[in-house]
Amino acid sequence: MIIPKFLQEGQTIGVTAPSFGVTEPADIRRFEHAERMLKERGHPVRKTPNVHTADEEGRSSPLMQRVMELGSLLEDDSVGAVISASGGDYQCEMLMGMDWDFIERHPKWIQGYSDNTVLLFKITVEHDIATIYGGNFGDFGMEPWHRSIGENLEFLEGKRTEQRSFPKYQDGFIERVTGLEPFAEDNDVKWICDKGNAGFSGRLIGGCMDVIEWYHRKGNLDISKFLQKYSDEGIIWYMETYDMDEERIRRMLKGLADDDWFEGVSGFVFGRPLFYKGADYNGVILDSLKDFDVPKVFGADVGHKPPRMTFINGAKAEIVIQDEKATVRYDLRG
């Protein structure tokens, strides 16, 4: 596994918009504040031209412009990491224009969540480059920073290899007025494991279930080499959903299991679902995965209900669940 070089002092953080552009005034203020906060911490920000543009459907720019602007950040030696401006519905269009040999020649940390699973998952699974499923760029614009934000930057800088779960989470979206609003603390965080207290390890892989289901259904991703290379070490699957319902989740998990995507699985971790309709979420997943006698964890700090831990696709990880709290430890040596 290729672990990209960590951000060095003074290195630039690149921001691009592979799906939606960010055009709301409050969100623009949030981005401007994020730029100031990161510059104060030694990292100037370079935004591509499409970050604050959008067509009528929300696309930041035509697909090839999105491809080229991402590429411009990857080949710029002054840029040490790339963070997505936003999620959206259109990142899958970029696959038609991607030069994967170019990606392999320019391995850098690429970070985002939700629709960004399209690129992150494929880059790690098919091209053996670690990626980060974490906050989009706007998270760095809150005031004050949540613990998760400072720790995210420390991961990018190579200063951190361990993270603890958070005490509270935000149950959905909040309206922004100033643009600097921090995460709300609506409910207690509880990492619930079906086996009680547990510890397990393996290569971490996953993302937004909505996208992983799309990849499986379309058959346009080859996971076989990743499984062949890493299943003996154990593989930890983490997933969270934007708006999948019970039927889609059952169908997806059955399909992945039937097609051996869970070969070598050592544990499953599920984030808090955002818009879910159906029977008890945890129960549906437990029933769907009943043939896998490994820990299954729910309520994780990953995905659409923040705060978000820094989940590193492709990295060796150990997850310890103790009294409904979690610690994630990484070995980032490849």
Confidence of residue 212 (pLDDT cuts 50, 70, 90): very high
% of the chain surpassing 90 pLDDT: 98
Token readout for 96 is 């038609």
Amino acid found at 7? L
Domain identity same for 298 and 196: yes
Take residue 318 and report the two structure tokens written for it.
């150990």
Verify that 179 and 307 share a domain, yes or no: yes
Domain residues for 298?
A: 168-331
Does residue 239 share a domain with residue 157? no
Residues 99 and 199 in one domain: no
The stretch 184-193 carries a mean pLDDT of 97
pLDDT digits (tens, 9 = 90+) for 44-72: 999 999 999 999 999 999 999 999 999 99
> What is the structure's pLDDT at 95?
97
Average pLDDT over residues 137-144: 98
Domain boundary among 121, 140, 164: 164
Judge whether residue 196 has pLDDT over 90. Answer: yes
Question: Which of 164, 190, 221 is the last residue in one of the domains?
Answer: 164
- What pLDDT digit, counting tens, does each position of 299-313 carry? 999 999 999 999 999
CA 290 – CA 293 distance, rounded (Å) = 7
Q: Give residue 64's pLDDT.
A: 98
Residue 7 lies in a domain: no
Q: What percent of the chain lies above the pLDDT cut of 70?
A: 100
Q: What does the pLDDT read at residue 133?
A: 98
Number of separate domains in the chain: 2
Is there a domain that residue 252 lies in? yes
Query: What are 141-169's pLDDT values in tens digits?
Result: 999 999 999 999 999 999 999 999 999 99
Together in a domain, 50 and 198: no
Residue 216: how many CA atoms within 13 Å on its side-chain side? 21
For 2-47, write each residue's pLDDT tens digit. Answer: 999 999 999 999 999 999 999 999 999 999 999 999 999 999 999 9
Beta partners for residue 298, in sequence order: 192, 270
Establish if 227 belongs to a structural domain.
yes
One domain, residues 30 and 51: yes
Angle between helix 209-218 and helix 117-127 axes, rounded to 10 deg: 60
How many helices, marked H, and strands, marked E, lie in the chain? 9, 16
- Classify residue 46 as exposed, middle or buried by CB count within 10 Å of its CB (0-12, 13-18, 19+): middle
The yes-or-no verdict on residue 334 having pLDDT over 90 is no
Q: Is 158 left (phi over 0), alpha (psi -120 to 50) or beta?
A: left
List the structure tokens of 284. 């549906």
Residue 2 forms part of a structural domain: no
Mean pLDDT (the chain, rounded): 97
Is residue 276 pLDDT above 90, yes or no?
A: yes
Mark whether 302 and 315 lie in a shared domain: yes
Does residue 323 share a domain with residue 174? yes
Is the same domain home to 179 and 324?
yes
CATH number at residue 125: 3.40.50.10740
The answer to whether position 18 is within a domain reads yes
243 and 269 in a single domain? The answer is yes
Last residue of a domain, one of 120, 143, 164: 164
Residue 5 lies in a domain: no
**pLDDT of amino acid 202:** 98
Distance between CA atoms of 81 and 73, rounded to whole angstroms? Answer: 8
CATH, residue 298 = 3.50.30.60
* In a shared domain, residues 194 and 281: yes
Tally of CB atoms within 10 A around 244: 24
Instruction: Give pTM, 2 decimals.
Output: 0.97
**Do 94 and 202 reside in the same domain of the chain?**
no
Exposure string for 151-187, b = 16+ CB within 10 A, e = fewer: bbbbbbbeebbebebbeebbeeeeebeebbebbeeee
